[in-house]
Structure formats: C-alpha cells, structure tokens
C-alpha cells in the first residue's frame, strides 16, 4: 500500500489534475492521496496559499479584500471548469473560505492558520469530487475526522503521537482517500498548520500512521539533483540517498523536499520516492535507511545564505566550567536559536540566522551582555555568511575528502571563514561570504562530479539530467 502526495505545481490547473488522476489509478496500491493547495501555473503566477495569506492579513487590518477573495475563488472555479465538474462544488468551496475569513480574529496567528488551511482543504474537496465524477470510489477525509492531532503551535505544529494510531484506521476506509495536507487539529478543535510546505509533512505522517510500504512524493522535477540546476548545467541526478543525507541537503537549501517531512517516514522505516508528475515513468529519487556507496564520497552539494557568526574569545575559556551554558543562556534570553557552534580552546563561534537579530540595538545588547557577563576578551559579529554543505555517507570511509574540498575552494579563490564537520561525518560545512557562495558550490561540484571523476565513478553524460 502506498501513500502519495502531490505538490502545488502538480495541482495548479485542470490539466495537471487530470495527470494526477491517471497516475493514481494506474497503480491500485495507491490508497491515500495527500494534496497541496493550487500552486503556480507559470512563473509570474501567485500560489493560492500566498493569496490566502494576503487576504487574511487584509481582514485582520479591516481592509477591503473583495478582489483577493475573488482571485482565490477564481482559481478553484477555473479548475472546476477545466475538469467539467458540476459548479455546485464551488458553493462548498466558497462557504469554507468565507467561514474562515469571518472567523475569530482575537488571536491573529490562529486566525491566519485557519485561513491558510482552506487552500489545501478546498482543493482536497475539489479533487475528491473529480475522482467521483470519473467513476472512482473516492472520499474527502478531513484531518479532524481522521484523528490527526497536533501541538498548539500556530504555523509550526508538531504531530502528537496518538495521531499515528488514529490514522492506522484509514487502512480500512473504503475506496481511495483524498486528504488535505499542511494542517491538523489541536485537541481543542483548533486548526493549526505545519511549517510552510507542510503538505510533505502530512504525507509522511499519513504514510507512518497507515503503515505504507512506500511514500511517493510527486513534484515537478525528475529527481533530486546533486547540486542546484541554476548553478550547474546538466547536474547529476541522485537515484538513491539516505534519510540523513536528504536531511542535510534539505537543511542546506535543497527545496525539493521539506526537511521535517523525513522524520515520520524515517521513524517508520518507510522509503520515500520523489517523482515527477509531468514524467511519472522516470524512476525519481529514493530516500532510504541505507544505500551502497558506489558513487564516490559525496552525493550532493548545497548552500544557503542569511547567516551571521558571533565570535567570542577568552583566554583559558576551556578551563572555565559553565562558560558554554552561560553563553547559550544569553542567546535563549534573546529568543535566539543557533545552527552551529565551531570552537577552539580559547574561542567559540555561534552561527545563527541573522534575521533573528532584528536591529542594531539588539545586536549591541547581545555583544554587551556577552562582554560584561562572561568577561570575554573579544566579541564581534560577522554578517552575510553562507553555509556550503558537502554531503555524503561515503565520506566516513574515504580519506582526503576535506583536503580535496579545501583545495578546490582555494583554487577558486574562495576565502573560508570557518570549517565544521559533524561527528556523524555525513556532511562538512564551509562558511563563506554570501557573495562567494555560488563560486564555492561550482568549484566543489567540479571537484567531486566534474569530468575528471567520470572514469572514477562510472558516470557518463547519458546518466545526467537535462534541465
């Protein structure tokens, strides 16, 4: 039995939904279909979720939003017309949207979640109606009805353990299940969304709860690539990678799969297969617990910007009991989360998303507290950093990977601000200035996947994806 999820680009129009219909009915083991809200139909288009956010914010400000409401309804109406559905389905969609928009605004975060969730919820109703129209036994199933309960954290809900037991009962549901992604319910009955792109999370939760053999995640690319295709022409496709490798790559900027979505599938040991709605015969990329390392030490290279580093130096820091705890307490007091902590015997750097430091006054206050409370010798902040990640399970069994990477970056003229390798040895991180990140990624790709490696790894241009 399979759980299958389709992203917004796969559901953006009637013609796309016809494709997903053919995909689903071509394999009788596909039992549950998790759907996103309609995505972009073309590059200049606006996702329905973004329209819903704009609409909710207008309602919260008590600003006229009729045009936004009409734009949202027009997207669903266009799909319904393309699919030749009875337009009575629009009555249900419109009433659901207006009910959310006119709901309780006393808690803006909860209100925004309720409005955002209508994107997936209404699309699931529409798609269930289409499957029924085509003669398939299919039912829209609401997450509350199914027992998908989540923590009371608007915009960042976490699944509650009891949900998996509840969702297992869906195996006995007659016919096909059409399930809206992105949201669940608190125990008090409030709608709460996962983080953005959370339909991936719903699909993974459902696969875990229903004990699926495979979780298929359909998007608009043939596979996960070893590097961002906008930086390198004809990048190598990744046929198979581990959960840990995908987690590292997702964290570092790979947007093809939501990083949090791996957790439920990983815990249940369910393989994830990323496939292309527009080319369903392509094998895609499988994410598994273990794989054979036959393609060299590195599987992928990614980068992400928007970081800063807070450098703290104090002589004999390593002898001072509690220094690290007190330093992190200061960060906690400011509501800051950190990403990495590379350190030496007399210095330590805290890497964090720099958008957490909202203004110069906050930055000055952080430096002042570290300097005064910890009697630090030096404290300074380096802005506009990018983290470049080199990822691969094979690095654990391969000598000289770090040296190769550092040499490639040096030859490309990229100055390294820091190097950090996790104890798992699945990834190494290089901190560089943001304006050098693309150069760094290209240099590392050429080192590990370029022409000189073709004879080593057995690759040929015939194995590479065209973009």
Nearest to 200 by CA among 270, 263, 125, 284: 263
Q: What is the mean pLDDT of residues 87-98?
A: 95
Cα gap 81→13, rounded to integer Å:
10
pLDDT score for 425: 74
Residues annotated within the binding site are 5-8, 49, 120, 219-220, 225
pLDDT score for 57: 97
Instruction: Tell me whether residue 133 is exposed, middle or buried, using C-beta atoms within 10 angstroms of its C-beta: 0 to 12, 13 to 18, 19 or more.
Output: middle
Tell me what percent of the residues of the chain surpass a pLDDT of 70.
95
Nearest to 34 by CA among 151, 169, 141, 116: 141
Residues annotated within the binding site for ATP are 5-8, 219-220, 225
pLDDT score for 452: 62
Terminal Cα-to-Cα distance of the chain (whole angstroms): 32
pLDDT tens digit string along 335-368? 999 988 988 899 999 999 999 999 999 999 999 9
DSSP assignments along 246-281, one per residue: HHHHHHTT--SS-GGGHHHHHHHT--EEEEETT-TT
pLDDT tens digit string along 48-63? 999 999 999 999 999 9
Indicate whether 130 pLDDT > 90: yes
DSSP count for the chain of H helices, then E strands: 15, 17
Tokens, residue 261? 């979505």
pLDDT score for 457: 42
pLDDT tens digit string along 439-460? 999 999 999 998 766 544 444 3
Indicate whether 292 pLDDT > 80: no
Indicate whether 293 pLDDT > 90: no
466 pLDDT tier (thresholds 50, 70, 90): very low
pLDDT tens digit string along 163-220? 999 999 999 999 999 999 999 999 999 999 998 778 999 999 999 999 999 999 999 8
Q: What is the mean pLDDT of residues 406-413?
A: 94
Cα gap 129→136, rounded to integer Å:
10
pLDDT score for 463: 34
Q: Are 12 and 75 in contact (CB under 8 A)?
A: no
Nearest to 146 by CA among 32, 38, 37: 32
CATH class of 300-456: alpha beta
Cα gap 137→135, rounded to integer Å:
7
Q: DSSP code of 414?
A: P
461 pLDDT tier (thresholds 50, 70, 90): very low
SS3 for 206?
helix
DSSP assignments along 8-72, one per residue: GGGGSSHHHHHHHHHHHHT-TTEEEEEE-----SSTT---HHHHHHHHHHHHHTT---HHHHHHH
Q: What is the pTM of this model?
A: 0.85
User: Hey, CA dihedral for 240, 269, 27, 89, is it positive or negative?
Assistant: negative
Q: Are 159 and 264 in contact (CB under 8 A)?
A: yes
Q: Are 126 and 67 in contact (CB under 8 A)?
A: no
The domain segmentation of the chain, as residue ranges, is: 2-288, 300-456
417-435 in b/e form (b: 16+ CB < 10 A) is bbebbeeeebbbbbbbbbe
SS3 for 80?
helix
Q: What CATH code is assigned to 2-288?
A: 3.40.1160.10
Cα gap 296→317, rounded to integer Å:
39
Cα gap 268→264, rounded to integer Å:
6
Tell me what percent of the residues of the chain surpass a pLDDT of 90.
78
User: Hey, CA dihedral for 334, 335, 339, 340, is it positive or negative?
Assistant: positive
The mean of the pLDDT values for the chain is 91
Cα gap 300→312, rounded to integer Å:
32
pLDDT score for 289: 87
75 pLDDT tier (thresholds 50, 70, 90): very high
pLDDT score for 424: 63
pLDDT tens digit string along 141-173? 999 999 999 999 999 999 999 999 999 999 999
Tokens, residue 7? 């992203």
pLDDT score for 399: 78
* Residue predicted with more confidence, 386 or 418: 386
DSSP assignments along 61-78, one per residue: TT---HHHHHHHHHHHHH
Indicate whether 311 pLDDT > 50: yes
Other CB atoms within a 10 A radius of the CB of residue 291 amount to: 17
Nearest to 69 by CA among 95, 43, 89: 95
**Which residues fall within 8 angstroms of residue 164, CB to CB, at 6 or more apart?**
205, 208, 209, 264
Other CB atoms within a 10 A radius of the CB of residue 174 amount to: 8
pLDDT score for 186: 97
Q: Are 179 and 35 in contact (CB under 8 A)?
A: yes
| Residue 407 parent element (H or E) | helix 401-411
Residues annotated within the binding site for substrate are 49, 120
**Which residues fall within 8 angstroms of residue 218, CB to CB, at 6 or more apart?**
4, 5, 6, 7, 10, 20, 23, 274, 275, 276, 277, 280
SS3 for 343?
strand
pLDDT score for 454: 53
462 pLDDT tier (thresholds 50, 70, 90): very low
């Amino acid at each position: 039995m399979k759980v299958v999820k389709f992203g917004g680009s796969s559901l953006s129009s009637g013609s796309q939904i016809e494709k997903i219909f053919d995909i689903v009915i071509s394999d009788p083991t596909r039992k549950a279909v998790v759907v996103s809200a309609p995505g972009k139909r073309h590059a200049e288009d606006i996702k329905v979720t973004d329209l819903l956010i704009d609409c909710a914010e207008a309602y919260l400000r008590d600003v006229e939003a009729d045009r936004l409401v009409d734009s949202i309804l027009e997207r669903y109406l266009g799909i319904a017309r393309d699919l030749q559905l009875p337009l009575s389905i629009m009555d249900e969609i419109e009433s659901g949207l207006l009910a959310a928009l006119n709901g309780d605004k006393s808690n803006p975060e909860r209100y925004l979640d309720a409005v955002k969730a209508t994107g997936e919820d209404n699309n699931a109703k529409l798609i269930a109606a289409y499957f029924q129209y085509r003669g398939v036994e299919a039912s829209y199933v609401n997450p509350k009805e199914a027992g998908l309960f989540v923590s009371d954290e608007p915009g960042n809900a976490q699944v509650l353990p009891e949900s998996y037991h509840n969702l297992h009962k869906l195996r006995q549901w007659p016919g096909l299940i059409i399930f809206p992604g992105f949201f669940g319910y608190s125990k008090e009955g409030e709608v709460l969304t996962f983080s953005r792109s959370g339909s991936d999370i719903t699909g993974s939760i459902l696969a875990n709860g229903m004990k699926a053999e495979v979780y298929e995640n359909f998007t608009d690319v043939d596979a996960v690539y070893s590097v961002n295709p906008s930086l390198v022409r004809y990048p190598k496709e990744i046929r198979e990678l581990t959960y840990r490798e995908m987690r590292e790559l997702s964290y570092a900027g790979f947007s093809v799969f939501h990083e949090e979505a791996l957790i439920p599938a990983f815990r249940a040991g369910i393989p994830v297969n990323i496939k292309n709605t527009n080319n369903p015969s392509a094998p895609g990329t499988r994410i598994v617990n273990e794989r054979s390392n036959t393609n060299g030490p590195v599987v992928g290279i990614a980068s992400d910007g928007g970081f800063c580093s807070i450098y703290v130096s104090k002589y004999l820091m390593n002898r001072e009991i509690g220094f690290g705890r007190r330093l992190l307490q200061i960060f906690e007091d400011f509501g800051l989360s950190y990403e990495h902590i590379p350190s030496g015997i007399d210095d330590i750097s805290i890497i964090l998303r720099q958008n957490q430091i909202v203004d110069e006054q906050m930055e000055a206050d952080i430096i002042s507290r570290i300097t005064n409370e910890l009697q630090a010798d030096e404290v300074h902040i380096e802005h506009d950093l990018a983290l470049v990640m080199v990822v691969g399970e094979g690095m654990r069994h391969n000598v000289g990977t770090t040296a190769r990477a550092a040499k490639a970056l040096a030859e490309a003229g990229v100055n390294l601000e820091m190097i950090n390798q996790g104890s798992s040895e699945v990834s190494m991180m290089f901190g560089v200035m943001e304006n050098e990140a693309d150069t760094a990624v290209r240099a590392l790709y050429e080192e590990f996947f370029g022409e000189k490696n073709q004879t080593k790894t057995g690759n040929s241009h015939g194995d590479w994806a065209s973009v």
